[in-house]
Structure 1
Amino acid sequence: LLALLYHVGRDWLRMLGAMWRSVIERRVGEDRDRRLGWLLVLASIPAALIGFAFEDAIEAAFHGDDDVSRLAICGFLVIGAAVLFVADRYGKRQRDLDHVGAGRALTIGLSQAAALLPGISRSGATMSTGLAFGLTRETAARFSFLLATPITLGAGIYGSRHLLTASHTSTEWVAIAAGFAAAAISGALAIGFLLSWLRTRSMAVFCLERVLLAALVAVLLALGH
């Protein structure tokens, strides 16, 4: 969450202020921050509802400790790579955030639900959908990270209940804090690298990474691991 806020936190603060003004004035108008903020709220709804309704069933079907679940991971890794490659290769890549309307925002938000499947990443699914709609690579990535913020915040709040109610020693709290800091720093660096990369380069290397990971999992399965 901190990694996301480092890169898009100021955008969210600006949008929240604009959204509050739109509530007071009872209109959205042509203000870009108001419009984008409410579109992100709209886009967050489908995945939240689908996750609430089907997460347990999908977890039981695909996330077991057996060969079927591992093969599912391989398959979805390759499928995700193929979809991302096609969207990146054949998308027009000409549109910015001003071209994201309610229908496109809702569809991009809906694509997040694919991340419930093992081997499908939330950011990969949303960026693929954005690219398919003709967004530039950097715009698709930025919209994906903006969209991830409220969901990550909600998941963090939900998960922190167990952390705060459990009893931990001082050593364990230090380890938790160190892990939290390491995740925040590495996440911020990774997001910054990705945004910089996508300004001038394609998604091909990330597609290849997914295929190689799928191949590695398949080899380990074949060797009986």
Structure 2
Amino acid sequence: MELTQIIFLAILQGLTEFLPISSSAHLILLPYLLNWPDQGLAFDVAVHLGSLGAVLWYFRRDLHLLLGNWFNSLRGRAQTPESRLVWGVALGTIPVALSGLLFADAIETHLRNIPVIALATIGFGVLLGYADWTGKRQRSEYQLNWKDILIIGLAQALALIPGTSRSGITITAALLLGLNRTAAARFSFLLSIPVILLAGGYDILKLLLQEASVDWFALLLAAVISGLMAYACIYTFIKLLDKIGMQPFVIYRLLLGFGLLLFWIY
């Protein structure tokens, strides 16, 4: 990979991983539109690990409190809102983990194309707008019950479809369930931690089996750039979310989706 491709794709991953606009769709589309060679599995692992580092650092104080309460619950102490939230994140991860094991190869083979990405970008963008406009926005992430978490977890499994956006679909489900915007985003980002860990671990195993040569400098550079951009994105997104809402992302998704359809048709 050329340096320009590494930098642009790493920036793109960092900016789009936690915004409700689908990072996977952008990572598929940019090389396709610019006629770049496929960046490969190792690069995808590196940029996702960079994004993981960003979300772990952003939530470092929250995670200390959450995990501390969770470990206490394992020792037989009473459940707290924090420990229940950790259990909720674990429950919400199960549907996407199972779906990934069962359907990832089929999705990789049949759904990584422009019409699917365009239609998913438009359809789930409209749903995001509907959720933002009609959601009651009265609850925090600590008020989720097990049924709510299962619904959000099932929604997260749809993110395997390119163009859906993992953060977008989980925020959509959370808003429809009455969470406020910040709580919906925070729970979505917490859900990303085990998902990225599981996907990254699976991809690393595949890399080890490939026995291919690795450009470690390129991977390290990509991970650092992706992590820095992802942290800036999380910080800015949560800070501005209540002011701007989801409308800018809905408009962007509609423009992107219809633009892709026109490109595909003509």
What's the TM-score once normalised by structure 1's chain length? 0.89
Residue 217 of structure 1 aligns with which residue? Answer: 260
Give the match for residue 226 of structure 2. 183
Residues 43, 106 of structure 1: 8 Å contact kept: yes
Counterpart for residue 89 of structure 1: 133
What is the match of residue 70 of structure 1? Answer: 114
**Over aligned residues, Cα RMSD in angstroms?**
1.6
2:72 to 15, 21, 24: 21
The answer to whether residue 200 in structure 2 is matched with residue 152 in structure 1 is no
Which whole-Å CA distance do the structure 2 matches of 1:52 and 1:122 have between them?
17
Of stretches 181-190 and 91-100 in structure 1, the one that deviates more from structure 2 is 91-100
2:99 is equivalent to residue 50 of structure 1: yes
Q: Secondary structure of 1:199's match?
A: helix
3-state SS of the aligned residue for 1:135? coil
Look up the match of 1:12.
Answer: 63
Which of 232, 242, 246 does residue 199 from structure 1 map onto?
Answer: 242
Structure 2 partner of 1:143: 187
Distance in structure 2 (CA, Å) of the matches to 1:204 and 1:11: 28
Residue of 69, 82, 87 corresponding to 1:38: 87
Secondary structure of 2:75's counterpart equals helix
Query: What is the CA-CA distance between 1:19 and the residue it aligns to?
Result: 1.3
Is the contact made by 2:122 and 2:258 (CA closer than 8 Å) also made in structure 1? no
Distance 1:216 1:97 in 2: 35
Q: Please, what TM-score do these two structures have when normalized by structure 2?
A: 0.76
Q: Structure 2, unaligned stretches of length 5 or more?
A: 1-51
Q: What one-letter code is carried by the residue in structure 2 that aligns with 1:217?
A: L
Among 106, 116, 119, which residue is 2:150 paired with? 106
* 8 Å contact kept, 1:78–1:214: yes
By how many angstroms is 1:219 displaced?
Answer: 2.4
- What corresponds to 1:66 in structure 2? none
How far residue 215 of structure 1 moved from its aligned partner, in angstroms, is 2.0
- Show CA shifts across 1:144-175 (max 9, x none): 0001111111222222345565433xxx2212
Structure 1 pair 157–13 and aligned structure 2 pair: CA distance change class (3 A): farther
**1:78-115, Cα deviation, whole Å (9 max, x unpaired):** 10111000000000011112321111011111111111
Distance across 2 between alignment mates of 1:76 and 1:206:
14
Q: CA deviation at 1:16?
A: 1.8
Runs of 4+ in 1 over 4 A off after TM superposition: 162-165
Determine whether 1:123 maps to 2:167: yes
**SS of match in other structure, 2:136:** coil
Q: Which runs of 5+ in 1 are unaligned?
A: 64-68
Q: Counterpart of 1:3?
A: 54
**Distance of 1:150 and 1:116 partners within structure 2:** 15
Q: Which of 177, 183, 188 matches 1:133?
A: 177
Choose 1 or 2 for highest CA Rg. Answer: 1
**Kindly, what percent of the aligned residue pairs are identical?**
36
8 A contact 1:95–1:136 mirrored in 2? yes
Return the offset for 1:28. Answer: 4.3
Question: SS at the partner of 1:95?
Answer: coil
State the secondary structure of the residue aligned to 1:182: helix
- Which residue in 2 is equivalent to 1:61? 110
What whole-Å deviation, never above 9, does each CA across 1:48-79 have from its counterpart, x for those lacking one? 1122112222333312xxxxx32121111110
Counterpart amino acid of residue 53 in structure 1: L
* Range moving further from structure 2, 117-126 or 12-21: 12-21
